[in-house]
Amino acid sequence: MKLVTWNIQWCRGCDGHVDPQRIVEHAKRVADFDVLCVQEVAANFPSLPGSHGENQFEEIARWLPDYTPIPCPAVDALAPDGSRRAFGNMILSRYPVLQVLRHQLPWPGDPSPTRSMPRVLIEATLDAPGGPVRVMTTHLEYYSALQRASQVEAIRAHHAEACQCDRTGGARDRSDGTYRWFPRPRAAILTGDFNIRPDDPLHARLQAPFVGARATPRLADVWVKRHPEEPHPNTVGVHDRSQWPAPYCCDFVFATAGLARKAQEVRVNSDTQASDHQPLFVNFRT
């Protein structure tokens, strides 16, 4: 499984130009990916710099006709003209998509005077060559540390719930109706822009063991597993110094132990300037 995760900044490059086609082309230069996870996808937001209000969920899907698109807006709001507008994440999969769950992440009130927006987690069960795998992607809150910490706990809870479902199963309905059962396998990959740095306690919290849940495998940072002696490469602000005074890493891929051991290649593409973030590529042996 070749996976790319990338915060695409509403398809806006360091040149200020918004171009969904360019995003797809640059992602393909990174790898002939089986799964593409993207964050900051916009639709009907002409106020975003460089955007004309194009529906990027549709345009990215149009440029990848052999993939199943899984859109997941975090923001779903009324536009001034009465239409809908959206902003969020998307997964595109070359593998069959067995089931999709869209989890709204916590958005608690923060007493500090800071702005924030809704956040979501996509959970897609893919029928991969080595067996079903849950692939998740998210984009955690940037400004509010309180909300970001709550969102990390929710992600851990969703992962534990999926593993509990896999362990106990319940009634596994094989009919073709609405109660049909699909797996929520323990084998899982979590990707995205977490708005935390590698030394942030929340980075360690995402990888912490699950107390009292023997069958809930912990998540591990695949970069650390593959390159234990090397620091994380910078993934934001590498080229865009107008927004970011200095580059750092905030984009990660985590995986359960069995999958983390199968990460043959983990690298950041530092060349592209099609976004203010750099894409992260992982090749999992299946």
Q: What is the pLDDT of residue 166?
A: 78
Q: What is the pLDDT of residue 174?
A: 83
Give the pLDDT mean for 45-71: 98
Q: What is the pLDDT of residue 165?
A: 86
Cα angle: 40, vertex 41, 46; to 5 degrees: 105
Residue 169 has pLDDT above 70, yes or no: no
Give the pLDDT mean for 169-180: 83
List of residues 6+ apart from 53 with CB closer than 8 A: 43, 44, 45, 46
Residue 167 has pLDDT above 80, yes or no: no
b/e 110-120 (16+ beta carbons within 10 angstroms → b): beeeeebbbbb
Residue 213 has pLDDT above 60, yes or no: no
Residue 9 has pLDDT above 60, yes or no: yes
Residue 202 has pLDDT above 70, yes or no: yes
Q: Identify whether the C-beta of residue 173 lies closer than 8 Å to the C-beta of residue 180.
A: yes
Q: Could you tell me which of 198, 195, 196, 213 has the C-alpha nearest to residue 156?
A: 213
Work out the pLDDT band at 159, boundaries 50, 70, 90.
Answer: very high
Q: Identify whether the C-beta of residue 67 lies closer than 8 Å to the C-beta of residue 93.
A: yes
- Is this structure's pTM higher than 0.95? yes
Q: Could you tell me which of 96, 80, 4 has the C-alpha nearest to residue 44?
A: 80
What's the total number of domains in the chain?
Answer: 1
Q: Output the domain CATH number for residue 236.
A: 3.60.10.10
Q: What is the pLDDT of residue 212?
A: 73
CA pair distance 137, 255, nearest whole angstrom: 12
* Structure tokens, 9: 């900044």
- Calculate the average pLDDT of the chain: 96
Reported as a single tens digit per residue, the pLDDT across 234-272 is: 999 999 988 999 999 999 999 999 999 999 999 999 999
Q: Which domain holds residue 80?
A: 2-284
Give the pLDDT mean for 8-12: 98
Q: What is the pLDDT of residue 173?
A: 84
Full DSSP string of the chain: -EEEEEE-GGGB-TTS-B-HHHHHHHHHHH---SEEEEEEEEES-TTSTT--S--HHHHHHHT-TTSEEEEEEEEEEE-TTS-EEEEEEEEEESS-EEEEEEEEPP----SSS------EEEEEEEEETTEEEEEEEEE--SS-HHHHHHHHHHHHHHHHHHHHHHHH------SSSTT------S-EEEEEE-S--TTSHHHHHHT---TT-TT-PPEEEHHHHH-TTSPPPP-BSSS-TTT-SS-B--EEEEEEHHHHTTEEEEEE--S--SSSB--EEEEE--
